[in-house]
Structure 1
Amino acid sequence: MSGTLPESIEPKLMIMLVGLTRDGRTSVMNTLLGIDQKHGPSPSSQTTECKMATVQRGDQELVIIDTPGVLNNKKSEEEVKKDIAESITNAALDGGPHVFLLVMRAKHFSEKDKDAVEIIQQIFGDEFKDYTLVLFTRGGRHVPTYKEVMEVDFLKKFIHGDHSFHSFENNACKNVKGEEKEKQVSDLVEKINKMVVKNRKRNAARYTSKMLERAQEIQKEMEMSEPNDTKADIVCKTVEKFVTGVVGEPWVGLVFGIVKSAMEKVDKYA
């Protein structure tokens, strides 16, 4: 990429890496930074705190943020959630991430993978899916097809075509080297830019701190809900609080009734 950037392309892309411990986020960060990796990370290596680095690719600057791995055995789940949420808050000072790279090994997926994705979804809420690109590592061994990815139930919500997932080989590999390694980065950046353009058309080019606040509020409501509360009850309690502050008391009953009716139908067919 050289010369003047098209108006549709951001001069600076903020990229946040999230995923399960030891699935290759740090190696992905090094690949994006152009750091050669002749050997993979040690089996005991874990990112336990947020890391940030920048790299210039042509006329576009990449700001890469690596977060602590979910289900990290050096920290509790609550500590990891707090660290990741704080990293988003810090990123929000610069406008917020354009994309979350959900980093996963290309393999037979386990319950642990599913649990990790669910925890990440809890942290960031439903809007997370609009800013997520699934990045599979160890692409020198296997590159998942669209059909294979769509067979993984807990990943379906993030997949909207071939442009919403990608594969990387981060280490020295006879099947992926030289120009191919450079192309995998260029192709990823191209996919991210397409996602940004799509989100900008919705007037939401970035995941913002307000989105995180909404997600955290819903999470608190779920944690404080009664054991017998349905999903409809939990969502409606949150909506009632929000609507009261925005449109005032007279309209609360109408909006609340519509939301409750819709959520009860969701519960019925869930």
Structure 2
Amino acid sequence: MDSVSVLILPEQREDVSQSEAGTAKAEAGFRIVLIGKTGAGKSAAGNIILRERIFRSALSSSTVTLECQKETREFEGQALAVVDTPGLFDTELAPREVVSELTRCISFAAPGPHAFLVVIRPGRFTKEEQETVKIIQKVFGESAAQYTLVLFTHGDDLEEEGVTAENLISENKALREFINKCGDRYHVFNNREKKDATQVRELLKKINTMVQLNGSTYYTNEKFIEVEKAIQEKVEKILRKHPHFTPREARIKAERKNRFIKSALAVIGSGGAAAALGVGIEVAAIGAVGAVGGPVGLVVGLAVASIAVALRREACKIQ
């Protein structure tokens, strides 16, 4: 079967010096962010995509991803960077931890993701999950929905029951409407066939088609642009201090620790926290029609506002 064509984006061809030629190949691929509820199978999906058991996963929700994790591997000559995130609806994390992980997720995905994969386990589509697109838009921006694709895990369970994904969607109005918000884009993973490259290949084709429909570019906005600036500044500092580092090694360190993340966390302990709390209450109000209310709404709102305040602070410094 033919392999997926490697999509090299116009912005990825520019400004590649000879010293960075070794990292250019790694940039000619997709950045993918996994989002979903605990127990949906995000980590397992990440392992299938990267063809390696690298993200910690479990069949039960007793094992929870509490930190964002980014891993990069090659698939048929194409670099894939996958960002695994904590469950969107977990309330185990304190507000500061949520801010830390969301900002880290944005930093890991900079200069912007090619796809947000909303991971759902068939038969467990909840009211909380119905609000996932709203949360993605609240955190990453309104246009992020154009880069969103639903990934069903445990398709093998459906096969055992003689049910197809099409059956599942047609018989569930809420799920059908949710898929529609994601541009009617979805894919199914068979978790028992982890070594089957075909399902990964087909997923990448769908992501490639989605990216091309979006102008052959990844998703970005002012937020990601500012974060990328912060990362590039940190990379330069690291390379000056540690000349033996490769640009890629410096990038990995810079994504985990830069002025954007530091500034966002500082908001929690400053006057900005009050403004953040106000936005948190605003987001909680959305819960009147869905699951973004209560503690989840407050925490997500606090995180979003903290990030916004941090970006304003950094923008003022630059000016």
Tell me the TM-score normalised to structure 2 length: 0.55
Decide which of 100, 106, 118 is 2:116's aligned counterpart: 100
Instruction: Give 1:1-270 correspondences, 5 Å limit.
Output: 5=6, 11-35=28-52, 41=58, 43=60, 44-76=62-94, 79-80=97-98, 82-92=100-110, 95-142=111-158, 143-145=164-166, 147-148=170-171, 151-152=174-175, 155-161=178-184, 164-170=185-191, 172=192, 176=193, 181-200=196-215, 205-210=217-222
CA contact (8 A) 1:125 1:212 kept: no
How many residue pairs are counted as aligned between the two chains? Answer: 209
| Deviation for aligned residue 1:86 | 3.1
What do the CA deviations read for 1:148-182 (whole angstroms, capped 9, x no partner)?
57642661453334xx1111122x3xxx475xx32
CA contact (8 A) 1:81 1:123 kept: no
What do the CA deviations read for 1:45-70 (whole angstroms, capped 9, x no partner)?
11111111111112211011111111
C-alpha change, 1:158 and 1:77, in structure 2 (3 Å) is farther
- Secondary structure of residue in 1 paired with 2:105: helix
C-alpha change, 1:127 and 1:157, in structure 2 (3 Å) is farther
Corresponding letter in the other structure for 2:35: V
State the alpha-carbon separation in 1 of the partners of residues 198 and 44 from structure 2.
16
- Secondary structure of residue in 1 paired with 2:155: coil
State the alpha-carbon separation in 1 of the partners of residues 190 and 9 from structure 2.
29
| Deviation for aligned residue 1:3 | 10
State the alpha-carbon separation in 2 of the partners of residues 177 and 50 from structure 1.
22
CA contact (8 A) 2:34 2:82 kept: yes
CA contact (8 A) 1:4 1:59 kept: no
C-alpha change, 1:5 and 1:166, in structure 2 (3 Å) is closer
Unaligned segments of structure 1, at least 5 residues: 229-270
Alignment RMSD: 3.7
State the alpha-carbon separation in 2 of the partners of residues 6 and 52 from structure 1.
21
Corresponding letter in the other structure for 1:136: F
| Deviation for aligned residue 1:42 | 5.1
State the alpha-carbon separation in 1 of the partners of residues 215 and 199 from structure 2.
24
CA contact (8 A) 2:48 2:194 kept: no
State the alpha-carbon separation in 1 of the partners of residues 179 and 40 from structure 2.
19
Corresponding letter in the other structure for 1:196: V
% identity of equivalent residues = 31
CA contact (8 A) 1:99 1:132 kept: yes
C-alpha change, 1:115 and 1:129, in structure 2 (3 Å) is closer
What do the CA deviations read for 1:178-227 (whole angstroms, capped 9, x no partner)?
5xx321111001101111111125xxx2222515699xxxx9785587xx
State the alpha-carbon separation in 2 of the partners of residues 18 and 78 from structure 1.
19
Tell me the TM-score normalised to structure 1 length: 0.64
CA contact (8 A) 1:72 1:80 kept: no
State the alpha-carbon separation in 1 of the partners of residues 5 and 117 from structure 2.
27
State the alpha-carbon separation in 1 of the partners of residues 4 and 200 from structure 2.
19
